[in-house]
Structure 1
Amino acid sequence: MDKLGVSCVINVAPELPDTPLSSDKNIVYLRINAQDRSQVDLSQHFDEVADLVEEVRLSGGCTLIHCVAGVSRSASLCLAYLMKHSGMSLREAYKHVQSIRPQVRPNSGFFQQLRQYELQLRGTNSVEMVYFASLDKEIPDILEPEYRAMEDFYQRYRSALKRR
């Protein structure tokens, strides 16, 4: 972290211990106790985290936001930051983050909260929720092609098993 110049760490993983930090550096540390569950209100932290990351950036620092897998919670907070301080739509922010970390996949509840945040910030939504029958739930339209590809794969797999 010293090599990368990390001066702020945001830990969004209550299941992990505090992030070990260098004792000789004055690193800002924020711990957010939020589980990766659709019903968790992560949106209550969007402004606090986005503003902290921007403050650190403006002072020449660098922020590490982490959870357990870097897929849902930390990605959601990064998306909120990009929407608030980079002026990106949710769709643009998601595409940007996914180009850097392809496995990002905020859970549906977090996506709904990000949609609400985008509506609050921009007055419009760039991502819609669509019903996906095989999951019996709504998913963000931006993820639909990936879910369709997975569904096709599983259908072919099940068909192959039946032929055996």
Structure 2
Amino acid sequence: MAISQITGSLYLSGVEAVNPAALTHRKVTLLVLAAEELPLKPVSVELLHVPIRDEPHAPLSQHFESVSERIQQNHSGSSLVCCSAGRSRSPALVMAFLMKHEGLSREQVHRRVLEARPFIRPNAGFWRQLKEYERQLMHCNSIRMVTTSQGVLPEAIGQTHDRPYCLNI
């Protein structure tokens, strides 16, 4: 699982992809690590630790603003947001950043991140927190949570190309 580029200066990955050569190649000066533990060896970049578990009840939304602001303020290089596998916590943080600083809906940011990293799957609790964050930022929601045979998953509200946009199904 490699490092995925989301914007010109924002990357997403799991911790296994983080190494000095990868950070240098991408000019990373800010590493955001969303994990309860610090599984990384010391790195030569600024480290923002978000001590959170990948569990539906974990309060990831408490970190949306501070992480978004820190990424936005990083003018000295690129930012890399990572978690254990780069599938749930870190994509949710990246989506919150894109909603806040690019004014995109939750559906739009999900599509964008999914294009760069096709195997993301924020847990249902993080989706609910992103739903509330979207409501705070935009006073509406573009996605609702639905029960499927694979559990509770997000589904776009409205139509896309004459059919519902179902996520991660």
Would you say the 8 A contact 1:11–1:18 is kept in 2? no
RMSD after superposition: 1.7
Give the count of matched residue pairs.
139
1:46-125 mapped onto 2 (5 Å cutoff): 46-56=64-74, 59-125=75-141
- State the partner residue of 1:6: 28
Would you say the 8 A contact 2:154–2:167 is kept in 1? no
Q: Which amino acid aligns with 2:24?
A: D
- State the partner residue of 2:61: 43
TM-score (norm 1): 0.79
Q: Which amino acid aligns with 1:79?
A: M
Identical positions, percent: 37
SS at match of 2:143: coil
SS at match of 2:127: helix
Deviation at 1:130, TM superposition (A): 1.2
Alpha-carbon distance change, 120 to 145 in structure 1, aligned in 2, over 3 angstroms: closer
Larger radius of gyration: 1
Distance 2:72 2:109 in 1: 16
Deviation at 1:17, TM superposition (A): 2.1
Alpha-carbon distance change, 63 to 145 in structure 1, aligned in 2, over 3 angstroms: closer
Structure 2 unaligned runs (5+)?
1-22, 157-164
SS at match of 2:152: strand
More strand by share: 2
Structure 1 unaligned runs (5+)?
148-164
More helix by share: 1
SS at match of 1:7: strand
Would you say the 8 A contact 1:11–1:19 is kept in 2? no
TM-score (norm 2): 0.77
Deviation at 1:128, TM superposition (A): 0.7
